[in-house]
Structure formats: structure tokens, C-alpha cells
Amino acid sequence: MERLQKVLAQAGVASRRKAETLIVDGKVKVNGQVVTELGTKVSRADRVEVQGVELVKEQFVYYLLYKPRGYISTVSDEKGRKTVLDLLPMIEERIFPVGRLDFDTSGVIIMTNDGDFSYLMTHPKFGIQKKYVAKVKGIPEREALKKLERGIELDDGITAPARVKMQSFDKKTGTALVEITIQEGRNRQVRRMFDAIGCPVQKLRRESFAMLTTYGLNAGEARELTTHEVKQLRVLAETGKIG
């Protein structure tokens, strides 16, 4: 279920603010009834009309993108930086990224136009796991890694338990490769977690999103998710098990 004004905006009818005005002015009907209350939620099964014209529903699409560094995970940027949409000019649907990878982080990201699916994939209560490999400055002590595993205090609260594994370290350069799996998606979370133990991230890559990896893709390339993969992800969110 999505808020009516968001559905109108995603369909390209108007901006979110203009869509709210259309609703309040009584120019929107849902299943034949005029709706004037902001916040009304609708599903794809509902028939929505704007000034007598029925809304055309887009088919849902789902893509796995290997995001390179140097792109932001939004649909537009006021500073004129390159976005993940610049990597997918061939896709006609109004897609958006599921969650975010920051400008300097590469790896797996899902692109879709399905808001309900995006919610299942990103809300922490559904426990979708994301695995990262971080190259960090310094060689974390075992106790520091244990702190990351148990949950560490950040400025927006304690993180949920994580799985952490030292992959390798180089005493000569004073750096280490650490694998970390989390099920949250706070802003720059992995980088802030390593900052909290005194080992700032030099390079970060998301290796997997649930069972999805970038296998077979080069940086900047994408592929459509199979129907089975989409079903697996939904079942995983709803039951905690791969379907």
C-alpha cells in the first residue's frame, strides 16, 4: 500500500505537493469515490482517476545494478553529480534505488518501481542481510571486532548485532580487509561503525544483498532480476527463509 499522493507523483501526474492539492480539491477518485483526505493509501488493485482520467499502472520491474564508485544512489542530484539512473538510460519505467550506497561505495544495489517491494527489502524488521568488504586503515584488535558484532554506539543509537570476519591484514601498509554483514541501512553506517573503533574505511564494497551478488557483471552493468529471484526475496522478507 502506498500513499495516494506518492502514487500520483510516481505515475508522473504531478509533483508530490501538486498531487496533494489535486486530492484536497476533490479532483481524485479511488474506485469511483472522491477522496480528499491526505494520507489515504491505495494498492495496485485500486482504480485511481485524476480529473476523470484513469491512472495507467506501470508494470513492476526489478534490476540488479553493480554500482561503481562515483555515483549517488538517488534519482536526481541538486549538485549535478552522476546518479545511478545515469547508468540505466535504456529503462523506460520510473525506477528508483532500493536503499542507498554512498558516493564512494560500490557493489550490489537493486533498482525497481515497486514501493512495497522496496519497503520489504529495506526495513530492518524484515532482516534482509547485506554483506560488505571494507579496506580499513589500521588492523582492528579482536575485541574491537567483537564490539562491532555485539552492536556499537553511534550518534543515532546502538547498531544491531552484526557478523564480522577479518579476511586479511598487511602490517607493512597498516591496513586490513574486514567482512561485515548487517541488516540495517542507516546513512553511511558501515563507515561510521569502523570510525567508532578507530579504523576508518579507505574502500568499501557491498558484496551481496541477501542472496544476490554482482557475479557476471562489470561495474556499471545491470541485469533484470528473474521472477524466481524476486519471489525468493519476498519470501525471505516475510519468513526469514529463502523460498
Pick the catalytic residue from 25, 77, 86, 102: 102
Q: How far is CA 191 from the centre of its chain?
A: 17
**What does the chain come to in residues?**
243
Q: How many CA atoms lie within 13 A of 44 on its CB side?
A: 10
Cβ-Cβ contacts under 8 Å for 35 (sequence gap 6 or more) = 4, 23, 28, 29
Q: Look up 102 and say whether it is catalytic.
A: yes
Conformation bin of residue 240: beta by default, left when phi > 0, alpha when psi is -120 to 50: left
Q: Are 51 and 27 in contact (CB under 8 A)?
A: yes
Q: Are 131 and 181 in contact (CB under 8 A)?
A: yes
Give catalytic residue positions.
102
